[in-house]
Amino acid sequence: MHCMHDSNALIEAVPNFSEGRRADVINRLAQALQAPGVSLLHQTSDAEHNRTVLTVAGAPEGVLEGLFQAARVAAQEINLFTQRGAHPRLGAADVVPLIPLEGVTLEECAELARQLGRRIGDELGLPVYLYEAAATRPERRNLADVRRGEFERLVEEIDQPERQPDYGPARVGPAGAVIIGARPFLIAYNVFLESADVRIAQAIARAIRASSGGLPAVKALGLLVDGQAQVSINLVDFKQTPLPVVMETVTALAAQHGVGVAHSELIGLMPLEAVAQVAAHYLKLPDFTPMRIVEHALQMTRGAGC
Amino acid sequence: MHCMHDSNALIEAVPNFSEGRRADVINRLAQALQAPGVSLLHQTSDAEHNRTVLTVAGAPEGVLEGLFQAARVAAQEINLFTQRGAHPRLGAADVVPLIPLEGVTLEECAELARQLGRRIGDELGLPVYLYEAAATRPERRNLADVRRGEFERLVEEIDQPERQPDYGPARVGPAGAVIIGARPFLIAYNVFLESADVRIAQAIARAIRASSGGLPAVKALGLLVDGQAQVSINLVDFKQTPLPVVMETVTALAAQHGVGVAHSELIGLMPLEAVAQVAAHYLKLPDFTPMRIVEHALQMTRGAGC
């Protein structure tokens, strides 16, 4: 289906850096990521969050090399003792998820995460925590648990046994720690409310998040971004809870608080199948799949010629 | 972007045949269409309409050859003197639109339509009318005008000057006439109402169709299909009137008649950009484009390697 052999694995990585304001640093991070064979698919920076999320894809070796180089740039340029932003963070290269795209399993991505973690720990001298499918302890599977208390608390607690890093020294410098893991494709989707009251966003986040009995596969936070209440959502399995269900639920809960949905924001990308789900739901086309999209159907049927 | 040289033109054709019941005939039509290099992208048959719509794509020569062979099968197998169905029709191979996909203009598709028309007229001895971008007279641009009165009226009127075919004899046999043309990509979208009252579907169709001052680029008919009122829609330019606008308008008008929308039906395929529009609208993502879809972004950035 693509112009490569099936034996060539393809992974995505969506590194999150704790810098969303200085364009020169952001450019250097994006440049560093683009090792040979690595495509930069998307880039988004948020000054309020003070965070940049870059989406890259390519062969595992290239992606790992780019991530290492970008982590080095981040560690040189970002000082967590002075960095401030709306988004929680533990370090300069804050979170580095690896995602299987083609010809590679989640467990293989977890092994790649360990390789990258070992190299960053050894060569950059940074504490590294493994999370999700790469986690070495059950209590480190969940990103929010690893990041609890943020950088400031880690500085105080890193010598405690439960905060012992998986790689690198148990010592926190200005670059903080790096959280590396492997996970399935995640849709990062923020809904802005027509309100400046963060408590409404927090109440909605609490109501929809799986951990408090809400929607399966949904993680959510209520934030105040540019003076606007925002429900920040990570949908970790769109097949379990389709995006339209998330959107309709947030809209209905917001209405209960007497506020509307202003607009939304997608961080990074989403898979074609998730987009097809949205069309199927709102156009009331129960049979709609990606094969009903002309470009996709053509690519599938012409694959043999590649 | 695809594994072919840009100089290789790619067209789509969506031939409509007046047979939606006999599986053996439908299979022979689908087989005949698949000349070398032609992909069958989609196939849909409707017994009530007594109509089959096949979507193929490929290089122009292959597509024209497949269409000619399928028109021959249709002419042999379908007898308009006895064929009955909910959908208006002028012939066995009723309508054959050619659509530019890549590396080919609409005017080049119109020239291909004329080539195919000449061959069908000469070799199959059928009257052929050219429509839309291939039309030879302004009053033949619109498909509904060419098909007015259907097969039965054409039998009586074909010797009149205004019904003189563009190719083939001015004489109607059991296979009727073939309407061939070129047009931009069209989305064929039917909305089923929770009602058996065809007059509601007709009123909504009248209200939304461009020809009666409704939505730009929208053609619509009210039909009764399987006892259910259906608004049958052709959206001829989804950039002018996005699908969500069509859906919201039909839903609102149906509500005025006190009925809901049961479900919809897509005939054939739709372009990725139209699907992205739907996601942008309903997820309130104003910046959403196909480049935010992981498969599409990857294909675009990896194109150079093909």
Q: Do A57 and B298 touch (CB under 8 A)?
A: yes
- The interface predicted TM-score (ipTM) is 0.78
Q: Residue A233's pLDDT band (boundaries 50, 70, 90)?
A: very high
Q: In this predicted model, what pLDDT tens digit does every residue of A157-201 receive, in sequence order?
A: 999 999 999 999 999 999 999 999 999 999 999 999 999 999 999
Question: In the numeric block, which tokens belong to residue A36?
Answer: 């040979």
Please identify which of the residues A49, A87, A257, A281 carries the catalytic annotation.
A87
Question: In the numeric block, which tokens belong to residue B71?
Answer: 């028109």
* Distance of residue B58 Cα from the nearest chain A Cα, in angstroms: 9
In a mutational test of the B interface, the residue from A295, A296, A299, A300 whose CB has the highest number of chain B CBs within 10 Å is A295
Q: Do B297 and A42 touch (CB under 8 A)?
A: yes
What domains lie within chain A, and their CATH numbers? Answer: 10-182 (3.30.990.10), 187-270 (3.30.70.670), 273-306 (no CATH)
* Distance of residue B269 Cα from the nearest chain A Cα, in angstroms: 5
Q: In this predicted model, what pLDDT tens digit does every residue of A211-228 receive, in sequence order?
A: 999 999 999 999 999 899
Residues in chain B with CB shorter than 8 Å from the CB of A287 are 266
Q: Residue A304's pLDDT band (boundaries 50, 70, 90)?
A: very low
Q: Which of B42, B279, B287 sits opposite A297 (nearest CB)?
A: B42
Q: Do A272 and B288 touch (CB under 8 A)?
A: no
Cβ neighbors of A253 (< 8 A, separation 6 or more) are A203, A204, A207, A208
Q: Do B302 and A263 touch (CB under 8 A)?
A: no
Give the chain B residue whose CA is nearest to the CA of A285: B264
Q: Does B87 qualify as catalytic in the annotation?
A: yes
Are the C-beta atoms of A16 and A51 separated by less than 8 Å?
Answer: yes
Q: Do B285 and A265 touch (CB under 8 A)?
A: yes
* Distance of residue A136 Cα from the nearest chain B Cα, in angstroms: 29
pLDDT given at position A102 = 82
pLDDT given at position A229 = 98
Q: Residue A9's pLDDT band (boundaries 50, 70, 90)?
A: confident
Q: Which of B263, B270, B285 sits opposite A286 (nearest CB)?
A: B263
Residues in chain B with CB shorter than 8 Å from the CB of A244 are 282
Residues in chain B with CB shorter than 8 Å from the CB of A294 are 12, 41, 57, 101, 185, 269-272
Q: How far is CA B95 from CA A125, B70, B89, B176, B299, in A?
A: 69, 12, 8, 11, 34
Q: Do A294 and B270 touch (CB under 8 A)?
A: yes
Q: Report the alpha-carbon distance of residue A214 to residue A229 in Å, rounded.
A: 20
Q: What residues of chain B score a pLDDT lower than 70?
A: 1-7, 302-306
Q: Do B265 and A244 touch (CB under 8 A)?
A: no
Are the C-beta atoms of B205 and B218 separated by less than 8 Å?
Answer: no
Q: If we measure between CA atoms, which residue out of A93, A92, A91, A101 comes closest to residue A39?
A: A101
Is residue A303 pLDDT above 60, yes or no? no
Residues in chain A with CB shorter than 8 Å from the CB of B278 are 278-279, 282-283
Residues in chain A with CB shorter than 8 Å from the CB of B282 are 244, 247, 278, 281-282
Measure CA of the first residue to CA of the last residue in chain B; give whole Å: 8
* Distance of residue A60 Cα from the nearest chain B Cα, in angstroms: 15
Are the C-beta atoms of B121 and B72 separated by less than 8 Å?
Answer: no
DSSP calls for B88-139: --SBSEEEEEEEEEES--HHHHHHHHHHHHHHHHHHH---EEEEETT-SSGG
DSSP calls for A41-68: EEEEEETTTTEEEEEEEE-HHHHHHHHH
Q: Which of B10, B264, B288 sits opposite A284 (nearest CB)?
A: B264
Backbone angles phi, psi at B220, to 5 degrees: -155, 150
Please identify which of the residues B2, B5, B87, B263 carries the catalytic annotation.
B87
| B55 C-beta neighbours (distance < 10 Å), count | 22
Amino acid residing at B286: P
Q: In this predicted model, what pLDDT tens digit does every residue of B51-79 receive, in sequence order?
A: 999 999 999 999 999 999 999 999 999 99
pLDDT given at position B9 = 87
* Cut 0.90: pTM above it: no
Q: Which of A275, A286, A294 sits opposite B269 (nearest CB)?
A: A294
pLDDT given at position A123 = 98
Q: Do A278 and B279 touch (CB under 8 A)?
A: yes
Whole-number average pLDDT of chain A: 93
In a mutational test of the A interface, the residue from B10, B33, B278, B289 whose CB has the highest number of chain A CBs within 10 Å is B278
